[in-house]
Amino acid sequence: MAGTDTGAAKAMPATIDDARPMPLSAAALATLMCCLWGLGQVAVKLANAGISPIFHAGLRSIGATVLLLAWIWLRGIPVFRRDGTLPAGIAAGALFGIEFICVYIGMNLTEVARATLMVFCAPFIVAVLAHWLVPNDRLTPARSIGLLAAFAGVVATFADRVAAPDAAGLAGDLLCLLGAFFWGATTIVIKTTRLRGALPEKNLLYQLGVSAVILMAASTLAGEAGIFAPTPVVWISLAYGTFIIAGSSYLAWFWLVSRYRATTLHAFTFLTPVAGVGFAHLLLGEPITPGIGIGLVLIAGGIVLVNRER
């Protein structure tokens, strides 16, 4: 997934002990998840070098859907009971699929570091939309400051494009920012419909299953080549995104959310853009420009403020 929160984490039933302290082991696991997601941005870029971007996203959704179904079967999780969530589930899955069309194409056109910063504007989009659409989820002074910091971070990041015009790169940045909007919209659909009370596995199944259909259809309509340069690096990157990110890390995150406060956990998500920029620099040799550095600090700090307790 492009990001840390598929939206399903928001839908965990209210059975969490809010007073339960988060032990060091849980904090370490949350930190690991965010680092894995940051590395996942690099994996997308590497796999796109040998797989058409929309087709790549579709393959990941298909593989992750199979893994999720296996998990549901082994645990006997009752996700197929009728609960009136189907229309909203299809809508969430469609938005999820469109998000990945934007992000995976955008990743082909821009650098991983920049794409990561754009995608992780999603928490701010959620905060703005929730202020108007979700009852009792208003912007607080701290969250408003976080939004302003994020906006300043985006401006700082785009300043590099203004200084060194790059039409393709600018298009990639904007596509990733649009992907962040659809990620945020997915979360809002879950927060404002019957999906809010659904099992997290069911929410994730809607998103993965519906997106798999949409992505493969979109790839066919776009006339993509599919798998055109299946090198070992491409296969390893695809496997990482499918098995580690979409297939395993989301379930681990749900496990954490089922036991500890979501607001506490989501404060860790500021680590993901930090990790994404760091891994892009170390593994792909992407430069950390002043604009990216300033944007990283402002967006990461804004994520912490937006996710603060009310």
For residue 101, the enclosing domain spans 22-306
Please indicate, yes or no, if residue 150 is contained in any of the structural domains: yes
- Helix segments in 76-135, DSSP class H: 86-109, 112-119, 122-133
pLDDT, residue 20, reads: 55
pLDDT, averaged across the chain: 86
Give a yes or no: residue 10 inside a domain.
Answer: no
Question: Looking at per-residue confidence, does 17 or 209 come out higher?
Answer: 209
Kind and range of the H or E element at 36? Answer: helix 24-48
Total domains present in the chain: 1
Residue 11 lies in a domain: no
The answer to whether residue 173 sits within a structural domain is yes
Q: Is the pLDDT of residue 18 over 60?
A: no
Q: Is residue 193 part of a domain?
A: yes
**Element spanning 6, H or E:** none
List, for residues 165-201, the tens digit of each pLDDT value. 678 888 999 999 999 999 999 989 988 999 988 888 9
pLDDT in tens, 78-103: 999 999 999 999 999 999 999 999 99
Identify whether 227 is part of a domain: yes
Q: How far apart are CA 222 and CA 213, in angstroms?
A: 14
Specify the pTM.
0.86
Residues with Cβ within 8 Å of 168's Cβ and at least 6 positions away in sequence, in order, are 109, 110
Phi, psi of 51 (to 5 degrees): -135, 135
Q: Is residue 12 included in any domain, yes or no?
A: no
d(CA 191, CA 172): 29
Tell me what pLDDT residue 10 has.
40
Instruction: Determine the pLDDT at residue 60.
Output: 96
CA 43 and chain centroid, separation: 14
Determine, yes or no, domain membership for 7.
Answer: no
